[in-house]
Amino acid sequence: MCFQDGEFRVGASDLLIGEIHGCRFYISKSQFEHWQDTHLTIDVTPGRGASFSLEIPLGVRFVTKSRLFTEEEKQDLLPVSPGGG
């Protein structure tokens, strides 16, 4: 889900894993444990999502694409930040 800055409460179980066009992107610790070896690409496509996310009125939805990191990519990864970023 996409929220305006300040509308989502980041908790102790949320990890900051990056930014998309200056917007912070969080994932829960439990999700991170499952996806930590995966390269995630967040894309936008025309259509309507099934949530109350910020992009819904724009007629677009987010799509997550994934693939496993190569061994070389794993060596270049930076540590994730705890919630609050």
Distance of alpha carbon 16 from alpha carbon 81, whole angstroms: 5
Query: Which has more confidence, 69 or 56?
Result: 69
Is 18 inside any structural domain?
Answer: yes
Position 4 in a domain: no
Within-domain flag for 83: no
Domain limits for position 24: 14-76
Q: Is the pLDDT of residue 84 over 60?
A: no
Gap between the Cα atoms of 70 and 76, Å rounded? 10
Tens-digit pLDDT profile for residues 11-39 = 999 999 888 888 888 999 999 999 999 99
85, pLDDT greater than 60: no
pTM for this one?
Answer: 0.71
Q: Is residue 49 part of a domain?
A: yes
